[in-house]
Amino acid sequence: MKVLITGIDGYSGWPLALHLLARGHAVVGIDNFVTRKRVKEVGSWSATPIPSFARRQAAVRELLGQEIGFYRGDLGDYDLVRRVLETERPDAIVHLAEQRSAPYSMIDVHHAVATQVENLTGTLHLLYAMREVSPETHLVKMGTMGEYGTPNVDIPEGFFEVEFRGRKDTLPFPRQAGSWYHWSKVFDSGDVMFASKIWGLRATDVMQGVIYGIRTPEITDDRLFTRFDFDETWGTALNRFIAQAILGLPITAYGRGEQKRGFIALEDSMQSLRLAVEHPADPGQYRVFNQFDAAYSVNQLAEIAHRVGAELGLQPTIEHPPDPRVEAEQHYYVPLHDHLPRLGYVRTRELESVVREIFHDLLKYRRRLEARRHVVQPTTQWRSADSRPALEARHPPSAPSAAPPEPGHDPARSTA
Ligand code: USQ
């Protein structure tokens, strides 16, 4: 099959390209390199050094003997999106090119607006271009498990049967996102569902859990590495906990640390996306996959990072600062995930073994972590400034650790 990956230079886009090539698919990508730019904007970089895209293409040519087609550009440019689809007529689009950080979207009004405008515009442009020039193409859209929030009932895959005042229907499961970023994904889901209905497009909306890991079987050389972000804006909790353990900074398990999320290893996420591509939705079908393997609490992540770090001779400590986010710190969490196993999905990786692998890879790049240690600890706040003192009185920060004060902690970046 021919697959267009939007956001091919990103954390998931790059290993997905390698994974699809290894299984005989043709890959073409589009990217505007905004992740590289925005990570720099917050003063950080990937712990794994990432070559330019041209060098990445050259490494694929040399090491795998394969070609990746590439368009440099922005999905905000409708003429470009239409031209790419008209020229390539891909069997599938895996749409990953969106602003992916919840903390980034919460910095201030400009970051909130940029997140929602960019994410919704890109998706709408793809949907319109599919309708105009490539209506047979199957859209695999990267959404997030975070669209559902943390309801006190099981979470189905997109839809559920409901009975209200004596009548029954199958309806979209309610969405209760926890950041402007997560809400942008909710709005996208509505748009993709609507476009499938009115134009008969094929679509799979992937409710992606948190992905962990930097290796897949295709990453056989450091030149093929994907990114590892660890700063407070772009690094996920697990990435940050590992970086904190290596840097001797306290591991920041927010609040009570009983917040649970669904997780999946990078290579299993790639397997899932490939299965979605190889088993397309029918024309007019909008289907939803909950894409994760197991749920872990923030405390469990912190304990695993602590344990593996200690095994390696590090001396990690765990702290519970007041949660800068507005979220349930203890809650029920039972999402269902049956659709992918029905297509042949099998989990191949366990969390702790991947964490061990990440530690080993990162210890090689310890100096790159050291050079950016000032952007690791959290500063961005979800709630308004007025409500913070009351919260901190209820949840005082843990006793300060022996770690040195953070030179780059910049309260001015905390936002209302
Ligand atoms: N957390 C901590 N300490 C930290 C950082 C985060 O306790 O230092 C907590 C957060 O409060 C939250 C949980 O860890 O309860 C997860 O946060 P995260 O930063 O690992 O993940 P999140 O912001 O939810 O976003 C990430 C990806 C996003 C993807 C999402 C999937 O950045 O692109 O959509 O995971 S999901 O979480 O299922 O929505």
Which CATH number do you get for residue 359?
3.40.50.720
> Exposed, middle or buried, 77 (CB in 10 Å: 0-12/13-18/19+)?
middle
What is the rounded distance in angstroms from the CA atom of residue 325 to the CA atom of residue 332? Answer: 18
Q: Does residue 387 or residue 55 have the better pLDDT?
A: 55
- What are the catalytic residues? 144, 181, 185
331-379, pLDDT tens digit by residue?
Answer: 999 999 999 999 999 999 999 999 999 999 999 999 999 999 999 999 9
Residue 380: predicted pLDDT: 87
pLDDT-based confidence at 386, cuts 50/70/90? low
Tokens of 412: 């001015």
Average pLDDT, the chain: 93
Q: Which of ligand 1's atoms lies nearest the C-alpha of 179?
A: 23
Residue 399, pLDDT > 50, answer no
CB atoms within 10 A of CB 38: 18
Q: Is 83 exposed, middle or buried (0-12, 13-18, 19+ CB in 10 A)?
A: middle
pLDDT band at 393 (very low <50, low <70, confident <90, very high): low
Residue 384: predicted pLDDT: 82
pLDDT of residue 391: 45
Between the two ends of the chain, the Cα-to-Cα distance in Å is: 47
User: 209 C-alpha to center of ligand 1: Å?
Assistant: 9
Question: Is residue 359 one of the residues assigned to a domain?
Answer: yes
Reported as half-sphere exposure (CB side, CA atoms, 13 A), residue 304 has a value of 20
| Ligand 1 pocket, residues with Cβ under 6 angstroms | 100-102, 144-146, 208-210, 236-237, 240, 252-254, 259, 261-262, 298, 323, 325, 327, 378
User: What is the spatial distance between Cα 105 and Cα 95, in angstroms, rounded to a whole number?
Assistant: 19
Asked whether residue 52 carries a pLDDT value surpassing 80, the answer given is yes
C-alpha 256 chain-centroid distance: 23
Report the SS3 class of residue 41. helix
**Domain extent at residue 11:** 2-384
Residue nearest to atom 34 of ligand 1 (CA): 144
- The domain tally of the chain equals 1
Question: For residue 156, what pLDDT band results from cuts at 50, 70 and 90?
Answer: very high
Atom of ligand 1 nearest to the CA of 101: 32
Q: Is the pLDDT of residue 414 over 50?
A: no
Ligand 1 atom having least distance to the Cα of 143: 34
pLDDT > 80? residue 153: yes
From 5, 201, 208, select the one nearest 90 (Cα to Cα).
5
Q: How confident is the model at residue 124 (pLDDT cuts 50, 70, 90)?
A: very high
Task: Write out pLDDT tens, residues 255-308.
Answer: 999 999 999 999 999 999 999 999 999 999 999 999 999 999 999 999 999 999
What's residue 406's pLDDT?
A: 34
What residues form DSSP beta bridges with 71? 30
- Residue 402 inside a domain? The answer is no
pLDDT at 400 over 80: no
pTM of the predicted model, to two decimals? Answer: 0.93
Residue nearest to atom 35 of ligand 1 (CA): 210
**Cα 35 to Cα 38: distance, rounded to the nearest angstrom:** 5
Report how far residue 352's alpha carbon sits from residue 304's, in angstroms, rounded to the nearest whole number: 7
Distance CA 301, CA 217 (A): 24
For residues 377 and 409, is the Cβ–Cβ distance under 8 A?
yes
Higher pLDDT, 402 or 73: 73
Q: What percent of the chain has pLDDT over 90?
A: 91
Please, which residues have CB within 8 angstroms of residue 309's CB and are 6 or more apart in sequence?
242, 245, 246, 315, 316, 359
Q: Is residue 123 part of a domain?
A: yes
Residue 407 maps to a domain: no
- Of 186, 261, 325, 337, the residue with max ligand 1 atoms within 8 A of its CB, to mutate for a pocket test, comes to 261
**410 has a pLDDT exceeding 50:** no
Report d(CA 344, CA 276) in Å as an integer.
10
Residue 403 within a domain: no
pLDDT in tens, 164-207: 999 999 999 999 999 999 999 999 999 999 999 999 999 999 99
pLDDT band at 411 (very low <50, low <70, confident <90, very high): very low
Q: List Cα–Cα distances, 152 to 16, 130, 149, 333, in angstroms.
A: 34, 38, 10, 7
In this predicted structure, the answer to whether residue 32 has a pLDDT above a threshold of 70 is yes
Compute, in angstroms, the gap from residue 237 CA to the centroid of ligand 1.
6
Residue 84: inside a domain: yes
| Predicted pLDDT of residue 404 | 34
The 10s digit of each residue's pLDDT in 216-245 is 999 999 999 999 999 999 999 999 999 999
Q: What is the pLDDT of residue 396?
A: 46
**What number is the average pLDDT over the span 117-139?**
98
In a domain, 394, yes or no: no
Residue 151 lies in a domain: yes
